[in-house]
């Protein structure tokens, strides 16, 4: 049998972490969650990788948690699984992360996509947090990340009804970065990843850090973080290279140092 999570290297400085459980619509069982977390931990330390794509299959990015695996679990068993730690491994991934979403991104699949920095959705993609329909609430950040992405009122409607929305509606409410034809999703995600991978990786990591940390700070504190980060960037070789290339009217060669 194929591995339930695959690691691919489609271009220089770009990696793809692909969920590969087509028979289960890429449901996120504990093995898949652990493998995603392990791959991202390894890619954090891999200096050759500057941008990562999270992908699924043609019919499902990830259709939610594996209900069969949790239906009979008790609270202590759920605590021992410690899924929160695995979600945190994704949340703290410091490099740019792009979700390439085709088909269903429901429940944990929608939450997984929301851990990304950019979401490229196919025009046939479907998003939702339907946990309420099976008697539970989202457990991978849905009650927190969704309101931050789309606002309280849109989020509450999705969370309390469990309704599934189209890629077009997700785009209109700000849940995705862009919508492209289904057949072009992965090519577009790869083009974006390749473009980002050509940027200075230290600056990319600082941008991500400032945006994510700043969301939970006061504006004054967040602006202070930004000010310190831009000051720090002047210690990098890439800053010198980028500005020299601009003045010399040539393409820069960023090295990540």
Q: Are 257 and 238 in contact (CB under 8 A)?
A: yes
The answer to whether residue 131 is catalytic is: yes
Report the 10 Å Cβ neighbour count for 70. 17
Over 127-194, what HEC string results? Answer: EECHHHHHCCCCCCCHHHHHHHHHCHHHHHHHHHHCCEEEHHHHHHCCCCCEEECHHHHHHHHHHHHH
User: How many whole angstroms separate alpha carbon 64 and alpha carbon 37?
Assistant: 17
Give every CB contact of residue 89 below 8 A, 6+ residues apart in sequence.
36, 37, 40, 41
Catalytic residue among 27, 60, 63, 65: 65
The answer to whether residue 8 is catalytic is: no
Catalytic residue among 56, 64, 107, 108: 108
Segments in the chain forming alpha helices (H): 30-45, 67-70, 75-81, 83-91, 108-114, 142-150, 152-161, 167-172, 185-197, 201-214, 219-233, 237-248
| Residue of 175, 183, 186 whose CA lies nearest to 106 | 175
Catalytic residue among 56, 100, 105, 111: 111
Half-sphere exposure of 162 (CA within 13 A, CB side): 10
The answer to whether residue 111 is catalytic is: yes
Half-sphere exposure of 62 (CA within 13 A, CB side): 29
Catalytic residue among 131, 141, 167, 170: 131
Q: Mind telling me the catalytic residues?
A: 65, 108, 111, 131
């Amino acid at each position: 049998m194929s591995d339930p999570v695959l690691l691919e290297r489609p271009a220089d400085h770009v990696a793809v972490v692909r969920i590969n459980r087509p028979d289960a619509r890429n449901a996120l069982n504990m093995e898949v969650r652990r493998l995603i977390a392990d791959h991202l931990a390894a890619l954090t330390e891999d200096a050759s990788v500057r941008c990562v794509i999270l992908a699924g299959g043609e019919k499902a990015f990830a259709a939610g948690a594996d209900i069969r695996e949790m239906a009979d679990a008790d609270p202590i068993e759920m605590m021992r699984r410690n899924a929160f730690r695995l979600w945190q491994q994704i949340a703290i991934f410091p490099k740019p992360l792009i979700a390439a979403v085709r088909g269903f991104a429901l429940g944990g699949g929608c939450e997984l996509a929301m851990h990304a920095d950019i979401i490229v959705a196919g025009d046939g993609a479907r998003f939702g947090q339907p946990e309420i329909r099976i008697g539970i609430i989202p457990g991978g950040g849905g009650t927190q990340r969704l309101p931050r992405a789309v606002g309280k009122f849109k989020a509450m409607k999705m969370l309390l009804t469990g309704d599934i929305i189209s890629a077009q509606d997700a785009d209109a409410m700000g849940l995705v970065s862009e919508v492209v034809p289904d057949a072009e999703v992965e090519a577009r995600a790869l083009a974006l990843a390749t473009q980002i991978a050509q940027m200075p990786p230290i600056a990319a990591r600082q941008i991500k850090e400032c945006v994510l940390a700043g969301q939970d700070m006061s504006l004054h504190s967040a602006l202070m973080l930004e000010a310190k980060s831009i000051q720090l960037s002047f210690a990098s070789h890439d800053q010198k290279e980028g500005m020299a290339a601009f003045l010399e009217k040539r393409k820069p060669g960023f090295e990540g140092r």
